Structure 1
Amino acid sequence: MPSSHVLAVDLGGTKSAWAVVDASGSIIERGREPAWRDYKGAAARVAGLAGGAAGVGVIVPGIYDTESGRAWAPNLWGMDEVPLRAELEDRLGRAITIDSDRSGYVLGEQWLGAARGLRDVVFVAIGTGIGAGILAGGRLIRGAHGIAGAVGWSALTCEWKDSYARTGCWESESAGPALERGAALDQAAEYTAMGVANLISTLNPAMVVLGGGVLQSEFPWTEEIRCRAARWAQPLAFARTRIERTTLGADAGLFGAARLALLACGIHTESEGIDVG
């Protein structure tokens, strides 16, 4: 494998995807497998794929603390944190770049997708869970402990349900599992519009990108959210924010993971000037 190529891995809640990517964003090789439900098994599989890659970038669903190297991914590995970085580095024998999937989504979309070149972007991903990747002034926002963007926990109603204790209000009402249980699309769209409106009012982004498995369905999510969010958002902020569907689709996270690895290796990519911390 050429030294300018990196391995990108998206450890999703329903599938695991990987790709070998170069500095231009071209995918050299790729694969998709059922979700790796054991973190040690996931680490072993990543190590087996790494080969001679210049770097390895991995994104995980849930919370990843860049200081401790521990991941909290309840939709994948249960409610306990796992020492993901230590396990991966032990297997690979070298440093590795890991971040949350929402960070990967926004970095990928800002590099090669709908938000290319923008410095203030929010990527809202709705699939098995709900999260938001945030770029503010060109800086990736993680918060003090890697939890920023866990917007599935947004409180969007004063009516408490026990299901909110595990996944949060927005996620419980609008994510894939809720729709599989028979949640009404109209209600899910309203909750999502409220969540997007809150992000627009709080962060004043140039663009909100909508992605994730749920938003790739035939239901006109983008149009519904644009219409409904207008009622809830700060009007000046809303008027200046574009709401667009991802142009990278399910690959947004892979491109983000690749970009993290390329940046960590010092390999130049287009659309630089982003601070990933």
Structure 2
Amino acid sequence: MIGLRYAVGVDVGGTKIAAAVVDSEGRIRKKVKIATEKNDRDQSVAQVARAAQEAVASAGVPWEWISGIGVVVPGIYYPQTGKVWAPNLPGWDHIPLREWLEPQLPRPIVADSDRSAYVLGEQWLGAARGFRDVVFVGVGTGIGAGILTGGRLCRGAEGIAGAVGWFALNPAPKEIYKQIGCFEAEAAGPAVARRAVDLAGRVPSRMLELAGGCLSSITAETVAEAARRNDEPARRVLEETAKYLGMGIANIVSILNPQIVVLGGGLMQAGDLLLDPLRREVREWAQPLAARSVRIELTQLGEEAGVLGSARLALEENCVR
């Protein structure tokens, strides 16, 4: 036990808050989840503190053993002001989250965006272990990236670095691009579902069966599952999506020249059915030398990357390595 320290990692999501007690070797001692309060900002902030408290109590670890608490949000952390913006959480508009949490929790708190946690988690314990130039791309309802350059987080002048969903990929702008960005509009989960609904409404497909016979219930995860079951229309949707994903990731590879790009999110359940065509697109579009040297891999940590990465933030903030 000598030299072993602990941190609490809290991953705040639009539907749930996950909190875990993690030791300095990356082992999760205890993890808890609670539903996110969507209608009351003050209650949802209080839930962040409660999740951390419940995790520590369940782990049986004394608070004096806790080095710090890392809290990450699905949005932007502004390092100059210490405020956070999380558009999927009502009322979380430039709020001083750390300042509000400090009276409720007895240990130092560090806040950041969730994409910072994901890339740190994968570099610490996942697919990017041993690499210093890493990009994590999360493909869910939206698309965002966490970036490590030389082992250090890249946040940008306003904390917005990694907003890759705004990449311009199409020379013919659509109205939706003004709202969420071109890359996100064409390659994130809703775009996958949109293509799938269109196709499943015209040709027989297991996607409709997996969605309970309701076209509007088809999701990106439905497409991934149908593709794994050899559904040809679902595979066509993945091939089309891979073109856009590959172009966007090719831009990342050309700009940042990372050693590895790690992909996460529900759509990645399709595995090699999506990864193989995506890699081909990256080789087609990226700067040739960067394309040849980069590895493109699926997450090894899944949703655990959030709590592990946020705990790592707290451990690093308190000089425990």
* In 2: Cα distance, 1:50 partner to 1:239 partner: 43
* Residue of structure 2 in register with 1:72 after alignment: 85
* Residue of structure 2 in register with 1:272 after alignment: none
The runs of 4+ residues in structure 1 deviating greater than 6 Å are none
Q: Residue 219 and residue 178 in structure 1: after superposition, are their counterparts in 2 closer, same or farther (change >3 A)?
A: farther
Does the Cα contact within 8 Å between 1:200 and 1:237 map onto a contact in 2? yes
The amino acid of 2:50's aligned partner reads G
How far does the alpha carbon of each residue in 1:156-187 deviate from its partner, in whole angstroms, 9 at most, with x for none? Answer: 11222222222211112222233334454333
* In 2: Cα distance, 1:132 partner to 1:206 partner: 15
Identity of aligned residues (%): 54
* Residue of structure 1 in register with 2:273 after alignment: 220
User: In angstroms, what is the RMSD of aligned CA positions?
Assistant: 2.2
* Residue of structure 2 in register with 1:117 after alignment: 130
* In 2: Cα distance, 1:17 partner to 1:94 partner: 18
* In 1: Cα distance, 2:192 partner to 2:17 partner: 22
* In 2: Cα distance, 1:57 partner to 1:171 partner: 28
* In 2: Cα distance, 1:106 partner to 1:256 partner: 7
Structure 1: tracts of 5 or more residues without a match: 269-277
* Residue of structure 2 in register with 1:271 after alignment: none
Q: Residue 79 and residue 267 in structure 1: after superposition, are their counterparts in 2 closer, same or farther (change >3 A)?
A: closer
* Residue of structure 2 in register with 1:84 after alignment: 97
Between 1:168-177 and 1:193-202, the stretch displaced more is: 168-177
How far does the alpha carbon of each residue in 1:126-184 deviate from its partner, in whole angstroms, 9 at most, with x for none? Answer: 11221111111122100011100011111111222222222211112222233334454
The amino acid of 2:80's aligned partner reads E
Structure 2 SS opposite 1:220: helix
* Residue of structure 2 in register with 1:32 after alignment: 33
* Residue of structure 1 in register with 2:188 after alignment: 175
Q: Indicate the structure with greater helix content.
A: 2
The amino acid of 2:26's aligned partner reads G
* Residue of structure 2 in register with 1:195 after alignment: 248
* In 2: Cα distance, 1:210 partner to 1:199 partner: 12
The amino acid of 1:57's aligned partner reads G
Q: Residue 28 and residue 239 in structure 1: after superposition, are their counterparts in 2 closer, same or farther (change >3 A)?
A: same
Give 1:218 shift.
5.6
Give 1:228 shift.
1.4
Structure 2: tracts of 5 or more residues without a match: 54-62, 197-236
Say whether 1:250 aligns with 2:292. no
Structure 2 SS opposite 1:237: helix
Does the Cα contact within 8 Å between 1:75 and 1:128 map onto a contact in 2? no
Does the Cα contact within 8 Å between 1:62 and 1:150 map onto a contact in 2? no
* Residue of structure 1 in register with 2:314 after alignment: 261
Which has the higher Rg, Structure 1 or Structure 2?
A: 2
Structure 2 SS opposite 1:143: coil
Structure 2 SS opposite 1:98: strand
* In 2: Cα distance, 1:55 partner to 1:235 partner: 43
Q: Residue 137 and residue 232 in structure 1: after superposition, are their counterparts in 2 closer, same or farther (change >3 A)?
A: same
**TM-score computed with the length of structure 1 as normaliser:** 0.88
The amino acid of 1:234's aligned partner reads Q
How far does the alpha carbon of each residue in 1:180-221 deviate from its partner, in whole angstroms, 9 at most, with x for none? Answer: 344543332211111100010011111111112222346722
Structure 1 SS opposite 2:128: coil
* Residue of structure 2 in register with 1:147 after alignment: 160
**TM-score computed with the length of structure 2 as normaliser:** 0.77
* Residue of structure 1 in register with 2:111 after alignment: 98
How far does the alpha carbon of each residue in 1:241-275 deviate from its partner, in whole angstroms, 9 at most, with x for none? Answer: 0111111111112111010011122222xxxxxxx
Between 1:254-263 and 1:207-216, the stretch displaced more is: 207-216
* In 1: Cα distance, 2:69 partner to 2:80 partner: 18
* In 2: Cα distance, 1:29 partner to 1:79 partner: 27
Between 1:51-60 and 1:130-139, the stretch displaced more is: 51-60
